[in-house]
Amino acid sequence: MRIRSALAVAAIVTLAAACGGGGGGGETPSGDGQPVKLDFLSLAWQKESVAANKEIVAEWNKSHPDIQVTYVQGSWDNVNDQLVTQFAGGTAPDVIHNDSPALAGFASDGYLLDLTAKLPAELKSDIPQAAWDTVTFMGGEGEQGVYGVPFLQESQVIIANKKLLDASGVRVPTPDNPWTWDEFSEAAKKMTKDGTYGVAWAMKSPVNRTLNLALNFGGTFFQTGADGNTTVKVGPEEREVLQRIHDQLYKDKSADPAALGQGTADPLPAFFQGKFAMLPTGVYLRQQVTEQAPDGFEWVTLPAPKGVTAEQGAVSQTLSIAQDSEHPDQAMQFIAYFLNAENQAKLAKGDWLLPTSQKAESDPAITTKENGWDVATASAKNLVVAPFLKVNGYDEWRSKVATPVLQEYYANKISLDDAAKRLVEEGNQVLERYHR
């Protein structure tokens, strides 16, 4: 997933307001006549998303004068390093925006509050259990708890040049009948001609995309032993997607190798020029396509290919409460307000992602065919808990081992056997430091 942002957080209000309305009034929670003050670190980065976040905070502050939230802008690029420093120094924000893979380590270290007993019933019931599973981890006391509220999720789709897609004569996939990986490969080959590649894989940050799609074939990349400790595994299931992407690049020559070192949005200028026909990507990239596409350029959103299943790993954006927050109850009230169904729909539209709220999913603005919202929203049914979410030490494994190894493999600098060996051996050296 594309997210990693700065610190965040804070907030809070009355439970009635948390679930949608209500005002503040009455005796101030601080007990000294002054409003409770909360810091809310947000990692929102797209223009519409930042605006939606600030608007909701402003609405909260206006209707809850006794609990005032300060919006703090963070960045996905350095949020976890900053949080480590802030947690250690006791200066972390009350309410923290992050993503679910980062929560496991912070929960295990005792930096995040277990929200299990604080979740309002309306909020809990509106978000399906599969999403709650992405934020359920073992805490510092060795007991399982809920360490964040999941509110936005990303799925993988394919953005295609409609003219080139139609000219190829291939079957157009639908959410109910997606391409198999074999069909996807054949479609890419048919669209590779006259200086155009069928597909471009932007793999500057290859890990999340690879691991999420690997679940198509049951690839989990991690296994837990009887002792409760986790090790890396790269067997036949994990190799499937790795090999198929590599084949498109070097066997079929239907994938543009020039895109490999690029970030998610970097290939868009070449895409608009017809240099390649399809871009596998996260659903959020639709925003940049909408904003940057030249006049007359037609594009469509297609579902991701299907392996043994269409399952993808779910990574959630989350709001958590710092263990050291002096106002956890008010923070929880703010979170419940911030993430009610109406606000989740607003946040999803701003970030071009999928809301976890079941009520928000029915919002006409995110079920329309315009800009591929119908395909994007339908993909939510394929999201399952990504096994790596539960791995303590995953973040370090991803940055120090998996990212450089996968980059070398996709660049054809090492073999699949070499990549698998390094992912396991070097990865286990990292994970061993996190064993209990």
User: Could you tell me if 313 and 386 are in contact, meaning their C-beta atoms sit under 8 angstroms apart?
Assistant: yes
Per-residue pLDDT of the chain (436 residues; tens, 9 = 90+): 333 333 333 333 333 333 333 333 334 555 667 999 999 999 999 888 999 999 999 999 999 999 999 999 999 999 999 999 999 999 999 999 999 888 988 998 999 999 999 999 999 999 999 899 999 988 877 788 999 999 999 999 999 999 999 999 999 999 999 999 999 999 999 999 999 999 999 999 999 899 999 999 999 999 998 888 999 999 999 999 999 999 999 999 999 999 999 999 999 999 999 999 999 999 999 999 999 999 999 999 999 999 999 999 888 999 999 999 999 999 999 999 999 999 999 999 999 999 999 999 889 988 899 999 999 999 988 998 888 877 888 889 999 999 999 999 999 999 999 999 999 999 999 999 988 7
pTM of the model: 0.83
Distance CA 60, CA 208 (A): 34
Length reported for the chain = 436
Name the burial class of residue 316, with classes exposed (0-12), middle (13-18) and buried (19+) by CB atoms within 10 angstroms of its CB. buried
What pairing do the DSSP bridges indicate for beta strands 316-321 and 197-199?
unpaired
Q: What is the pLDDT of residues 281-302, one digit of tens each?
A: 999 999 999 999 999 999 999 9
User: Could you tell me if 214 and 221 are in contact, meaning their C-beta atoms sit under 8 angstroms apart?
Assistant: yes
Q: Which residues contact 386 (CB under 8 A, 6 or more apart)?
A: 101, 134, 211, 212, 215, 313, 314, 315
Q: What is the pLDDT of residues 43-60, one digit of tens each?
A: 999 888 999 999 999 999
Q: What is the pLDDT of residues 373-396, one digit of tens each?
A: 999 999 988 998 888 877 888 889
Distance CA 334, CA 39 (A): 11
How many Cβ atoms sit within 10 Å of the Cβ of residue 49?
23
Distance CA 430, CA 321 (A): 28
Q: Which domains does the chain have, with CATH numbers?
A: 15-153+315-358 (3.40.190.10), 156-313+388-432 (3.40.190.10)
What does 360-397 look like in DSSP terms, one character per residue? GGG-GGGTSSGGGHHHHHHGGGGEEE-GGGG-TTHHHH
Helix (H/G/I), strand (E/B), else coil: 238: helix
Per-residue H/E/C for 259-314: HCCCCCCCCHHHHHCCCEEEEEEEHHHHHHHHHHCCCCCCEEEEECCECCCCCEEE
Distance CA 243, CA 26 (A): 63
User: Could you tell me if 3 and 99 are in contact, meaning their C-beta atoms sit under 8 angstroms apart?
Assistant: yes
